[in-house]
Structure 1
């Protein structure tokens, strides 16, 4: 695949990025659906992602290699950004919810964050980040928090109906069949 010069370019933040407005779960939790909340100050991905990578590296350690975002919530779409001498690849996926960012890196590092729209009021954004950072948080992001504009999930998912969420994620509930324990050998 031949890539354009813009796709091969590494974008670097030329000014000091703002401190990331980020709240993480105390430690990675297998029960929580998200690992915290992130409230960017703008829709400029170069500035905001540099800030986010710097904060995550300091708080969680590990080397961040890739970031996955939904393109409609951002002003431009760089494919690579330079942060502290390292290159982080950025993937733009229309299938990803606008209110989610996924960060991956070395040693099985994966951080899923709820993205709160930059124009959200302070009190609402703070409450949303607190809710997203609870270790017992099992609430899906869709419709639960203020999000950047973009394609939305089906109405049933916005309403928080767990059965509808399961159905729209590809699962299927059969009311005539009760769950069974796995067979033991």
Structure 2
């Protein structure tokens, strides 16, 4: 699987005035084979730990790549700063579930068909080579993703 990189013409502020376009620089890799229950469905490497700034781009990219609509996002509070209760999205607002105690390396998006998409979050401060390798691996290689991050 090859990761797909999408581009934003300019960065989002903490209070996004407009909804992100799908041509963003979201560093996201999704498993091409959905429906099989691997540990994770892909990896995401955000630029910061600011959830309000990062989540709109992730939601737009996942919606575009999967051709589905994200209805809810679940984040682990220990991993993020500035976590809003809702995120703007195209024609709607997405509810953000805030959890404690779960694996802080994961984020879950719930799609309109009820299917969860679980992503391994590569820490923003991860050195490029290790993060790039992790993004290039498939969800089937979830153990390798975690091992790659621990070694970076």
Deviations 1:93-120 (A, max 9, x none): 1122110001002112210000001111
Q: Normalising by the residue count of structure 1, what TM-score does the alignment of the two structures yield?
A: 0.65
Structure ranking higher in strand proportion? 2
- Does 1:115 pair with 2:121? yes
* Structure 1 residues 12 and 125: alpha-carbon distance in aligned structure 2, compared to 1, 3 A threshold: same
Query: In the TM superposition, what is the alpha-carbon distance from 1:145 to its structure 2 partner?
Result: 4.6
- Does 1:137 pair with 2:148? no
Which residue of 38, 41, 44 corresponds with 2:47? 41
Q: Normalising by the residue count of structure 2, what TM-score does the alignment of the two structures yield?
A: 0.78
Deviations 1:43-93 (A, max 9, x none): 111121000000001100111111111111111121111112311011111
Number of the residue aligned with 1:13? 16
* Equivalent-residue separation in structure 1 for 2:116 and 2:69 (angstroms): 11
Number of the residue aligned with 1:126? 132
* Structure 1 residues 32 and 42: alpha-carbon distance in aligned structure 2, compared to 1, 3 A threshold: same
Native 8 Å contact 1:12 1:82 kept in 2:
no
Residue segments in structure 1 that go unaligned for 5+ positions in a row: 1-10, 148-185
Equivalent pairs counted in the alignment come to: 134
Mark the structure with the bigger radius of gyration: 1
Native 8 Å contact 2:19 2:89 kept in 1:
no
Deviations 1:23-46 (A, max 9, x none): 011121415211100000111111
Number of the residue aligned with 1:79? 85
